[in-house]
Structure 1
Amino acid sequence: MNLRAPLMFIVALACGAASAQVAPPPENVVQLSSTAAVEVAQDTLEIHLQATREGADPARVQADLRAVLEAALAQARREAQPGVLDVRTGTFSVLPRYSRERRITGWQGTAELVLEGTDIARVSEAAGRVPGLVVVDASFRLSRERRERAEHDVQAQAIAQFRAKASDIARSFGFNGYGLREISVNAQDAGLPRMRMVASAAPSAPGDAALPVEAGKTAVTVNVSGSVQLR
């Protein structure tokens, strides 16, 4: 029985693995990054309206909230237009209220309606006409289309800067050029703080004035980082 051949094969594999582990690291590798940014006007307004009810009977609280929400939806839907003014419902909940002895003393319910769209004036005016609900939160953001356009433009700038920086570094070290090794492209946007509003005691009534709002800007940033090998 010949045991030498398998043994020699195992030894050969071990030697190959050892030589791979001690292979020298790549030379003339440089880590670098570039960043480009642009400020874009926020084009989408989102307004949250809310109704609250309290009572001893949870079914009654729920029925009251449902009636208020249905009336508000009926009004908002008359002005809705896809993309320009979208209407959707938000939180709807009925929860118990407890005493110090952890006994249920009553029930409190909340119903929410959300208006959002790119026609800022139309959204704010519609919010002022919704009956039975109060504005509890309003915020601006970028629409998906505007964000994607901004990211596309800024990404091209960041990549051009990365390539120019890599070429400049290669020339500075006496090389003719470079080759890409690893590249990471990341995009992000940072807007202004959300505009928060505290609900007033009295709900809005049809014909109320539009909510006073003003859009800000969002900084869309793209970062390109990675490593190149000088040649």
Structure 2
Amino acid sequence: MVAMVRLGALVGLIFLSSCSQYLNMSRIEADIQDDIERQGRRLTLKDVICPNRVVKQAEAYFRCVGELPDGGQFTINVTQQDDQGTLDWDVPSSKVLINLASLEEKIQAEIRDAVGKSLAVDCRDTYRVNQRGDSFECDVVGAGIVAAGRVESVLVKVNGQSNLEWQEVLIGAVPAAPQAAASGAAASAEATDEKPDVATAAANSTPAAAEEDEDED
């Protein structure tokens, strides 16, 4: 019996039950490909290729390769959780495929370090093809209020080197708290019918290079 479930946002989990001492690699390849395509944005894989013969062994590691229709290849890291064929796997970001769940964590950490406040970021899917010149937005879930204004979303761009850069998209500005006038009377804020300007804040944005996979010896 074979089943696959999504474990969090970063990894897949595969349960394989068999009397053989070897893993069913053709089934593993098919299941990983299906799971990546389901979690990706308009993502179709040409193939997933794993080693031909792998013995069941707890904590053993092996690497598979995913291939896009245009020939681009990316790494899939697979670890055996036990000696019964239970596997977990993950796809690190590369110059071919972006792991959006990992990107969300990086953006959230950078915003937290910059403004001292945690904001929840949602890039919607889990995987996206890394295309030079591409751009997309990740939503900020919740109020998203910081000192400079309200963070509506995060704009992500892929530069000419296939690296990622992002910046917060601010809507208007948060009104300052009323301050006491010289006479001691409280100052009042005037209402306005004007729509807030949309601006992008570059102060807290830094390039985030997509990690390129390195072959193991």
**TM-score tier after normalising by the smaller chain length:** under 0.3
- Bigger Rg, which one: 1
- Relative CO higher for 1 or 2, CA cutoff 8 Å, sep ≥ 6? 1
Q: Give the number of the structure whose residues are more often helix, by fraction.
A: 1
